Every structure is written in structure tokens, then in C-alpha cells.
Structure 1
């Protein structure tokens, strides 16, 4: 099972994100070991993660140690606000790692993570597919089962009504990206019933999103949003 999980929008300030984000903020928390913190805007169970650096010393310690991570993505994007990377959810992250290695990819993980939110600790695992030139999507497996997670998200006041999410992405080599997606059996960008990835080739990697819900299109904190 592969589904879209979330996209990371790096921001300099969570206070600014809380005021300027184009979607309602539903929750957030602290990654204590990584020196980062976030705010989340849910689109059903999928979400936008507004991510900021909380403790620069911890962040740079993690940056030096990690082979790949969202910290690496922030660094490679020169700490510029905007969309930096997205995550795909899986229900068997160990087997997925084996599948990628069998196809000649180098993997990093699974890594076991946690975040504290309102006194509650959430846990999950991450898998990164390493490449010298590309920051491919990473994979996440939540420790919660889907029903419990859905009820927790509903408790924040988020709508569970499915909405179209389309990510438009410019990459340097579409063939290499398609090889990444081929391993998980995804063709023509159809990640799940309500999420589509559209790739085009170009020298300057970039991302924007279209969301099938009410909102005002525009650039917010360095990222392009379109509401359709």
C-alpha cells in the first residue's frame, strides 16, 4: 500500500506561518532530537507540514550525522522558504527498503522517530532513497493504525472529506524519477485516488500544489498554492 502522506513547507518562522498560511492550522509539535518544530494543516488525513528550525545547534548536529533527512533537504535548498520534499505512506517500510535495494537503489533507514504534541508522543518510521543528484520523496510508516489516526485528526477539527491534491514538480531528469516511481508501481503520477504528481523536466527544480478546496491562490511564505 502506497498513499500520499504530507508535503513539507519550510518556513523561517512558525509565528508567520500561523498568521499567513492559506489553510487552517490544526496541530503541531516539536521534534526534540532534531531541533525542529512544526504546524500542520490537514487535507483529510494528508497534510501540509510547516517546518521551522527551533534549536540551531541540535539541527546542525543532526545535519552532520544524517545521510539524508528533511534537514538535508532544508540545507540543500539553502534555507529558502518553500516546498522542499514530500512523504509517501507505506504499511511495510522494511519490505519497501528491500524492494528498492533489489532494484539497485541505496537506502537509508528505516529510522525510528517521534514528536511530542500536547504531552502526547507520536511515533513513526522513515525511509530515504539516496541519490547524488535528486531528493526523491521519502517514505513514512505511522505507528498508529489508520482508524486511530483518523479519529485523532478529526479531533483537531480537520475535515475528512477527500480533496484533490496535485503536485506539479520540475526535476532535472524525469527518467530517473520515473525509475523511482516504477519500484512502487506508480505510473503517470497517480499516487492514490486523490493525489497526482505531475513531473516536467527543467534545470531549476521546483514544486507547487493545487488543492481541490476553497482558498485564495497565491504565493505564501515562498511557496505557490493554487485552490481549484
Structure 2
């Protein structure tokens, strides 16, 4: 039903990411009405999104209007650079919203989104699952056929590499995450054939990205990258 889509790394400035990042950059664009901009580093269809505030006024207006969003997470983490949130891809976003509400979760969306990259507009839908304690993954449904999206990404990055990826979360309340994953039938963190999300309880939340490929492990702009 779902698979891992991307992880967001909030950074203060995008220009330094493009010049000296730990991963190659393949694309980028702007979320005009959110006041944010991004750069994307693809592995295959999965990617790391480097997100920065691009327009302070629009961003502040969005904070006032939105109940939850990936951009609002920046404010929730008090503008500290690092990994802030993951997205899971689905083709049944409306049905997922119904299932989460039936289990007692509060939801925001599905809502229509878009960004512009080199004059091309890319569209998708987002669904947020709310909790008073935890910042949970959100869901994305691309408004583009999977084959067409794969071809577009290959044109940007070349051949896919499809490494094993684990996103390790330290969270305050593991039971909330267990309930979240139970709705979508994810057991032992196995989101898809090449991606897991593992959870451990800790008073100070954090996220570590572990990738099965060559590279030099580092703490880069507040985010822990481990190449295994």
C-alpha cells in the first residue's frame, strides 16, 4: 500500500548544499505559496530533499494558516538544521485518510500541492496524520504516472542505484508510532523492499539516515548521515 518516498533535511541556505553537500544534487524548485525552496538528491524514486526558507513573508503567512505541513515542521523544530520529517508514497491517499480517521487519528488533507522547476509544474497530494506528541511521517500521492515519473528522474540523475536505506527515529512515545504503522500494515519497520524505518524511545527526538552505499559518514548541517 505504501513505500518510502523521501526524507526532508532542513538547511539555512541551499547554495552551500549545492556546492559542498554529502550527496549529488539532481534537481530543485520552489513551493511558491509556502515560501520555501528545495534541492533534491535522488537514489532512485527515493530521495533526500534539502529544504530552506526562500520567502520569509510567505513562510510566516503559511505558519499562521496551516494546521500542519512539511514546511511548518521547520518552525516546530525551532529552525534547527537537520532531518525533520519523512514522506511515504501511496496511490490511495483518500482511502488512507478514511482509515486513519476510523482508528481515531486526526488528519489534515488530502490537499493539492505543486512546485515549479525550470518552468515545469509538478503536482501532488499530501495527507498529514496529527499527534500531540510526535511528528509522524506524512503521505504523498504523485499526480504523475509512475513510469513517467521514473523516466523524468532518470533524465535528471542517470541510472538508479536502489541502496538499502534505514531511517532511524528516536521518539518520545514509541506506542504512537506503532499505532501509526499498524494502520498501513508496516511490521518491524519494513516500509518497502529497500527501506526500513526503525524506532527507539528517547527524551530527545532525532533522525539518522543510514544508506547502503559508499560514502563518508558525517554530521552535515545538523543531520547524521551514515554510509554503510
Looking at structure 2, the residues matched to 169 and 144 of structure 1 have their Cα atoms a distance apart, in angstroms, of 30
Looking at structure 2, the residues matched to 157 and 95 of structure 1 have their Cα atoms a distance apart, in angstroms, of 32
Q: For residue 189 of structure 2, what is the aligned residue in structure 1?
A: 189
User: Is structure 2 residue 33 aligned with structure 1 residue 33?
Assistant: yes
Q: For residue 133 of structure 1, what is the aligned residue in structure 2?
A: 133
Matched position secondary structure for 1:215: coil
Looking at structure 2, the residues matched to 159 and 45 of structure 1 have their Cα atoms a distance apart, in angstroms, of 11
Q: RMSD across aligned C-alpha pairs, in angstroms?
A: 0.8
Looking at structure 1, the residues matched to 66 and 198 of structure 2 have their Cα atoms a distance apart, in angstroms, of 29
The normalised TM-score by structure 1 is: 0.98
Q: What is the CA deviation profile of residues 60-95 of structure 1, one whole-angstrom value per residue up to 9, with x for unaligned ones?
A: 100110000012210010001000000000001000
User: Is structure 2 residue 150 aligned with structure 1 residue 150?
Assistant: yes
Looking at structure 2, the residues matched to 51 and 159 of structure 1 have their Cα atoms a distance apart, in angstroms, of 24
Q: For residue 105 of structure 2, what is the aligned residue in structure 1?
A: 105
Q: For residue 13 of structure 2, what is the aligned residue in structure 1?
A: 13
Native 8 Å contact 2:125 2:142 kept in 1:
yes
Matched position secondary structure for 2:141: strand
Structure 2 unmatched ranges of 5 or more: none
Cα drift, residue 20 of structure 1: 2.5
The correspondence of residues 40-79 of structure 1 with structure 2, limited to 5 A, is 40-79=40-79
Cα drift, residue 146 of structure 1: 0.7
Cα drift, residue 176 of structure 1: 1.1
The runs of 4+ residues in structure 1 deviating greater than 6 Å are none
Q: What is the CA deviation profile of residues 155-181 of structure 1, one whole-angstrom value per residue up to 9, with x for unaligned ones?
A: 012431311011111000111110000
Matched position secondary structure for 1:104: coil
Structure 1 unmatched ranges of 5 or more: none
User: Is structure 2 residue 4 aligned with structure 1 residue 4?
Assistant: yes
Q: For residue 210 of structure 1, what is the aligned residue in structure 2?
A: 210
The normalised TM-score by structure 2 is: 0.98
Looking at structure 2, the residues matched to 151 and 135 of structure 1 have their Cα atoms a distance apart, in angstroms, of 32
Cα drift, residue 53 of structure 1: 0.3
Matched position secondary structure for 1:12: coil
The correspondence of residues 79-98 of structure 1 with structure 2, limited to 5 A, is 79-98=79-98
Native 8 Å contact 1:36 1:52 kept in 2:
yes
The correspondence of residues 115-134 of structure 1 with structure 2, limited to 5 A, is 115-134=115-134
Native 8 Å contact 2:42 2:157 kept in 1:
no
Q: What is the CA deviation profile of residues 102-135 of structure 1, one whole-angstrom value per residue up to 9, with x for unaligned ones?
A: 1010100011000000110000000000111111
Matched position secondary structure for 1:155: helix
Matched position secondary structure for 1:156: helix
